[in-house]
Amino acid sequence: MSVPEVLLAAEDIRVELGGVAVLELPSFALHESEVLSVVGPNGSGKSTLLLTLACLLRPSAGHISYRGNVLVSHDAVFRFRRRISMVFQEPLLFDTTVYKNVASGLRIRGLSRNETRDRVAKYLKCFHCEHLAQRSARKLSGGESQRISLARAFAVEPEILLLDEPFSALDPPTRHSLMHDLEAMVRETKTTTIMVTHLESEALSMSSRILVLNEGRVVQTGTPSQVMSRPSNQFVARFVGMENILEGRVISRERDGLSVAVSGRVLHSAGDAQPDEIIECCIRPENVTIDNPDAAGAGNTNRFSGTVTHIYSSGPFVKVSLDCGFHLTALVTREAFSDLRLSEGTQVSASFRPSSVHVIRRSKAELERLKS
């Protein structure tokens, strides 16, 4: 299998705003046909990264290159921008008809009338908006507007598609149907895509790689499953929904994993670390099972008795906080919740598999900091 070509690369990028660095990117590469999600909390520099990569924001240091050519001259930047497309959180449609909106990128490029008509028709159809062609772009719903914005971006058949939180302003059903169509389009056209989002579900569903940003720096990059199950630090762990992060000391290292002392109790993990090392044990709340203290399975590994301290409703689930000597959160279905007759103060036992316990080892820098 040949290695896909690097389409877009960045080196030593530093973006400052009012003298404060808002983005630092020592190196970055985007491969052909890759779908990259950039995630991170608000203000982590995601949009800045996207604008910088689109050459819409000039970094105070560093440079961007496209297919190995450094984008410096005005002309090179301009030609590069004709190969990309961008969709923002707001649809930013022009005050004219839907048709002319979708055609705008093509008109800018001077395409012939016939070609424009065909392309507009094609992409309006892809996003199920043929019937809107002659409507004013000012009189569309939020979902329709964003569909037109996507159709406009696809109409120029870009080599790279840049999406800046395109669905954040939409309600969940609209978001899902639009996500679905976008995913299909990206897969079908094999368009290289970068999508900025603060919603992990968006990032999970369509991307081949995830890049996590925090405070202007890349904290982890990897496939969705890598990032989701093996976050490289506490921040990513919390961000991808590993609510249980327990600090512990490795007691012993066995063939199939570790024994870790956490608040006087012993946890088993399938992870790896050195004995006596201080580590973080991360467990997703959905991987924690709750049952009656006298239920079968007593004596299993990682089975702890505890008391319910808090109960929160969480959509179709119920989130239960437990005190097992350490603090543990579990996610249970509403059915299980009523079967178990849970309420604050109820005695339960909680269990999770050793393979559900992800170990985060402290980085050298962190260790240094702790020592001093």
Partner 1 sequence: MLFRKSPDFALVLFLILISGALSVTPAQQKKSIILATTTSTEDSGLLDVLIPVFERSSGYIVKTISVGSGQALKMGEKGEADVLLSHSPDAERRLVERGFAINRRVVMHNDFVIVGPSADPAGIRNSGSAAEAFSSIARQKALFYSRSDSSGTHALEMKLWQSAGVNPEGEPWYRQTGLGMGQTLNVTAEKKGYTLSDRGTYLSLKRTLGLDTLFEGDPQLLNIYHVMEVNPARWPGVNHTGAKAFADFMVSKEAQKIIRTFGVEKFGSALFFPDAGRKDMERF
Partner 2 sequence: MDLIAEGLRKAFELIVSMDREVLGITWLSLKVSGIATLISVGIGISLGMIIALTSFPGKKIVISAINTGMGLPPVVVGLFVTVFLWRNGPFGFLDLLYTPSAMIIAQVIIATPIVMGLSVAALQNLPPKLRLQILSLGATRWQMVWIMIREARLPFMAAVMAGFGGVISEIGASIMVGGNIRGYSRVLTTATVMETGRGNFDVAFALSIILLLLVFSVNYLFTMIQQRERPR
Where along the sequence are the contacts to partner 2 (CB under 8 A)?
51, 54, 56, 78, 81-82, 84-86, 88, 90, 92, 94-97, 104-105, 108-109, 134-136, 139, 152, 156, 162
Q: How far is 9 from 31, CA to CA, in rounded Å? A: 9
* CB of residue 69 to partner 1, shortest distance in Å: 15
Task: Judge whether 37 and 210 are in contact, CB under 8 Å.
Answer: yes
* Residues contributing to the site for partner 1 (CB under 8 A): 55-56, 58, 73-74, 77
- Which of partner 1, partner 2, none does residue 86 bind (CB under 5 to 8 Å by kind)? partner 2
* CB of residue 207 to partner 2, shortest distance in Å: 21
Give the nearer residue to partner 2 in terms of CB position, either 109 or 125. 109
Q: How far is 87 from 154, CA to CA, in rounded Å? A: 10
Task: Judge whether 280 and 289 are in contact, CB under 8 Å.
Answer: no
Give the nearer residue to partner 1 in terms of CB position, either 73 or 114. 73
Task: Judge whether 253 and 273 are in contact, CB under 8 Å.
Answer: yes
- Token output for 72: 């410096």
- Which of partner 2, partner 1, none does residue 162 bind (CB under 5 to 8 Å by kind)? partner 2
- Which of partner 2, partner 1, none does residue 223 bind (CB under 5 to 8 Å by kind)? none
The secondary element (H helix, E strand) that includes residue 283 is strand 278-283
Q: How far is 269 from 258, CA to CA, in rounded Å? A: 5
* CB of residue 173 to partner 2, shortest distance in Å: 26
Give the nearer residue to partner 1 in terms of CB position, either 71 or 227. 71
Taking the alpha carbons of 220, 226, 227, 233 in that order, is the dihedral positive or negative?
A: negative
- Which of partner 2, partner 1, none does residue 134 bind (CB under 5 to 8 Å by kind)? partner 2
- Which of partner 2, partner 1, none does residue 255 bind (CB under 5 to 8 Å by kind)? none
The residues that bridge with 222 in the sheet, in sequence order, are 210
Q: How far is 66 from 86, CA to CA, in rounded Å? A: 16
As a whole number of Å, the CA-based R_g of the chain is: 25
* CB of residue 215 to partner 1, shortest distance in Å: 26
- Which of partner 1, partner 2, none does residue 295 bind (CB under 5 to 8 Å by kind)? none
* CB of residue 18 to partner 2, shortest distance in Å: 11
Locus of tokens 């809107």: 132
* CB of residue 77 to partner 1, shortest distance in Å: 5
Give the nearer residue to partner 2 in terms of CB position, either 100 or 175. 100
Q: How far is 227 from 217, CA to CA, in rounded Å? A: 16
